A and B are shown apart, each in its own frame.
Chain A
Amino acid sequence: MTDRRPPFWQREKYTPYLLLLPAVLTILFVVLLPLIFSLYTSFTGYRLIRPESLWQWVGLRNYERIFGDRDFWVAFGRTVIFLTIALNLEFLLGLGIALLINKITWGQRTLRTIMMFPMMFSPILVGYQFKFVFNDNIGILNNALQALGLSDGAIPWLVDKYLANFAIIFAEVWMSTSVFAILLLAGLFAMPRDPLEAAKVDGCNAWQVFRHITLPFLMPFVFIAMTIRSLDVARAYDIVDVMTGGGPAGRTELLWTLIARVGYDNARMGQANAMAYVSIVLSIAFTYYFFTKLMAARRYMGGAD
């Protein structure tokens, strides 16, 4: 028997790397390279209509511009407010729905399925749906209000500064409240009954039981939903683009509608990519925050039963 060693790809210690190679290559080409490329372009004056500008290195100029760009910071602030309002509304409504469904004794599964319907629609279609609901001339909302005699004029739902933002949040909440409702309902189903009864005997009224026992138990589920939804809302684009396109006059401009406008409409891809990198910091910040909260809340749940 010869003592010749097999070629390296047949040796056992290389097997894991060999098996991982396709995945690593895929990630490299699909995720990492575009990421590096976009990071590079954010340091250039790259314009889509002038490909040679890809080699025009401008250093930090794109980033410096952002910090002086009022439109960007307004969109940034509006996104944070949008996210805060939407997430809180979805949380409160989702919690309410979950608590109500938890109380009923039959039809829970059916209702849970029905609740998921809004999530099954494409956000673009939800955007169109609400665009027509809120349209000031032909929208059913204004029609209904007028028919009921509650309003005699055409309320400019998608034009007025506050109403337009309200309309978009409404659409967002309509579509995604069920994320919270379903996750919180799962939490309520998993909740042990004994601590609730112990709290009742310990002197709690219904509100105190909810406040001190039920809610802390649900918090991990809340934070999971918050993490998912904060990522979702921080990249909100489709609904907004369809309903108002960020307008009128930038009154509903969020980060990603602004970035898309700068990148594609104005063709300043370098600038847009710089904005995108600043925006991602926002997403990471929210995700990190909720994830830390989730970890803290999960630690004690091992003793729930």
Chain B
Amino acid sequence: MADISLKGVVKRYGRTEVVHGIDLDIAHNEFVVLVGPSGCGKSTTLRMIAGLEDISDGAISIGPRVVNDLPPRKRNISMVFQNYALYPHMTVRENLGFGLKIAKQSPAEIARRVDEAAEILGLGALMERTPAELSGGQRQRVAMGRAIVRHPEAFLFDEPLSNLDAKLRVQMRTEIKKLHRTVKTTVVYVTHDQVEAMTLADRIVVMKDGHIEQVGTPMEVFDHPVNTFVASFIGSPPMNLLPARISDGQVVFAGGTGLPVPTRLADRVRDGQEVTFGLRPDDLTPQGHGIARGGERAQLTLEVGLSELLGTETILYTRIGDQEVQGKMFGPRDVAAGERLTFDVALDRAHLFDTVTGRSVRRL
């Protein structure tokens, strides 16, 4: 159980640099999720922490030790892999105890810790089976068990749920959350699924193209994305991003429709500035079908095209100017295609990004 710190960590394969100088401090017992699209360098970063990839530049320390030159076995970390990576020729019990056996623990101690892990993960009935006889979810549970028996300084998860079906994924997500509560340890968790990131993380690290885009709690990242990438990546359905121009205290979209500049951002933009207006579907709701919440509002009357009924809410596809946008209708009723509705726009929750830099205009 220790903090992990990355200072200017770079990874190069030959001449290709894939991770460009990452700085990150992970606190003791913190659950940090690295999230980003494929190829963003999140797995590489995790593998550098594990010691499975060399660090081209910079320094990684676990606790007080700089571990750059330590092989994985000396870093006292556990890792859970996407493909479970169980040892196929060993039973579940042997899989769980393998690390302890290598560490030359006494058989009694191994048995005690293996049973403890089996108890936490509900593996009791499976102990004498081989991985070939287990389902995907069971295998992943064994992989997690193998990680916790060693009482490591940190857990590293490399997309552990992406091979499971949707229902099992939700279930295992909850189990991982519970596990972290039971076994207090630093966790670094890599995923490309922003829902996993939101639900599990104490802090989210959003990565893209080998850079960290934003670090923050799930709420910070969701409510205050620093740029258009984070804004569109976090949240489902994704935030509507509309090109616009500031003119006379108005955000004017292509096609002439306009909305007032949100008051809290009024002094951050100048007349004639090209901006991208960001608005989550949750904040574009037909009147009477929004989330009751005070704050600055504006109204727009829009023609609804397609609508997708989800039960507790309906996703409405409509257009502002010539831009396709999505809105949400809470407490839904049937909406006919072509129906014109008056929408509330929650201006206090809207975002403005500079079109040139892609960065939020708010004070960072």
**B236 → chain A closest CB, angstroms:** 30
**B17 → chain A closest CB, angstroms:** 21
**Would A194 and B87 count as touching, CB distance under 8 A?**
no
**Would B89 and A194 count as touching, CB distance under 8 A?**
no
**Would A203 and B89 count as touching, CB distance under 8 A?**
no
**Cβ-based interface call for B364 (8 A):** no
Q: Which of A204-212, A250-258, A275-283 contacts B (4 or more CB under 8 A)?
A: A204-212
Q: Which of B70-78, B182-190, B282-290 contacts A (4 or more CB under 8 A)?
A: B70-78
Please indicate the chain B residues that have their CB under 8 angstroms from the CB of A65 in the complex: none
Closest to A198 in B: B85
Please indicate the chain A residues that have their CB under 8 angstroms from the CB of B85 in the complex: 192, 194-195, 197-198
Given A192-B83, A194-B84, verify A202-B98 contact (CB < 8 Å): yes
**Cβ-based interface call for A301 (8 A):** yes
Interface residues of A in 3-40 (CB under 8 A from B): none
Q: Interface residue tally of chain A, by bracket?
A: 20 to 34
Q: Which of B118-126, B130-138, B243-251 contacts A (4 or more CB under 8 A)?
A: B130-138
Mask for A244-264, Cβ within 8 A of B = 1, else 0? 000000000000000000000
**Would A194 and B83 count as touching, CB distance under 8 A?**
yes
**Would A202 and B102 count as touching, CB distance under 8 A?**
yes
Please indicate the chain B residues that have their CB under 8 angstroms from the CB of A68 in the complex: none
Provide the bound-state CA to CA distance between A130 and B190, in Å.
60
**Cβ-based interface call for B146 (8 A):** yes
**Would B89 and A216 count as touching, CB distance under 8 A?**
yes
Interface residues of A in 45-90 (CB under 8 A from B): none
Closest to B102 in A: A203
**Would B132 and A198 count as touching, CB distance under 8 A?**
no
**B343 → chain A closest CB, angstroms:** 49
- Contact with A202, one of B130, B150, B156 (Cβ below 8 angstroms): B150
**Cβ-based interface call for A148 (8 A):** no
**Would B132 and A302 count as touching, CB distance under 8 A?**
yes
Please indicate the chain A residues that have their CB under 8 angstroms from the CB of B130 in the complex: 299-300, 303
Please indicate the chain A residues that have their CB under 8 angstroms from the CB of B146 in the complex: 198, 202
**Would A200 and B73 count as touching, CB distance under 8 A?**
yes
Closest to A297 in B: B89
> How many residues of chain B get a CB closer than 8 Å to chain A's CBs?
33
**Cβ-based interface call for B103 (8 A):** yes
Closest to B139 in A: A303
Interface residues of B in 141-191 (CB under 8 A from A): 143, 146, 150, 156
**B101 → chain A closest CB, angstroms:** 9
Please indicate the chain A residues that have their CB under 8 angstroms from the CB of B63 in the complex: none
- Contact with B79, one of A198, A208, A216, A302 (Cβ below 8 angstroms): A198
**A187 → chain B closest CB, angstroms:** 13
SS class, residues of chain A in contact with chain B: helix
Provide the bound-state CA to CA distance between A205 and B51, in Å.
13
Closest to B84 in A: A194
Closest to A302 in B: B132
**Cβ-based interface call for B306 (8 A):** no
**Cβ-based interface call for B66 (8 A):** no
**Would B83 and A300 count as touching, CB distance under 8 A?**
no
**Would B131 and A198 count as touching, CB distance under 8 A?**
no
**A215 → chain B closest CB, angstroms:** 10
Given A200-B71, A201-B78, A205-B73, verify A303-B150 contact (CB < 8 Å): no
Provide the bound-state CA to CA distance between A300 and B98, in Å.
17
Please indicate the chain A residues that have their CB under 8 angstroms from the CB of B134 in the complex: 303
Q: Could you write out 19 A-B pairs with CB less than 8 Å apart?
A: A192-B85, A194-B85, A197-B50, A197-B81, A197-B85, A198-B143, A201-B73, A202-B73, A202-B78, A203-B73, A217-B88, A217-B89, A299-B132, A300-B131, A301-B132, A302-B132, A303-B88, A303-B130, A303-B134
Task: Write the residues of chain B forming the contact surface with A, with a CB cutoff of 8 angstroms.
Answer: 50-52, 71-73, 75, 77-79, 81-89, 98-99, 102-103, 130-134, 139, 143, 146, 150, 156
Task: Write the residues of chain A forming the contact surface with B, with a CB cutoff of 8 angstroms.
Answer: 192, 194-195, 197-205, 208, 212-213, 216-217, 297, 299-305
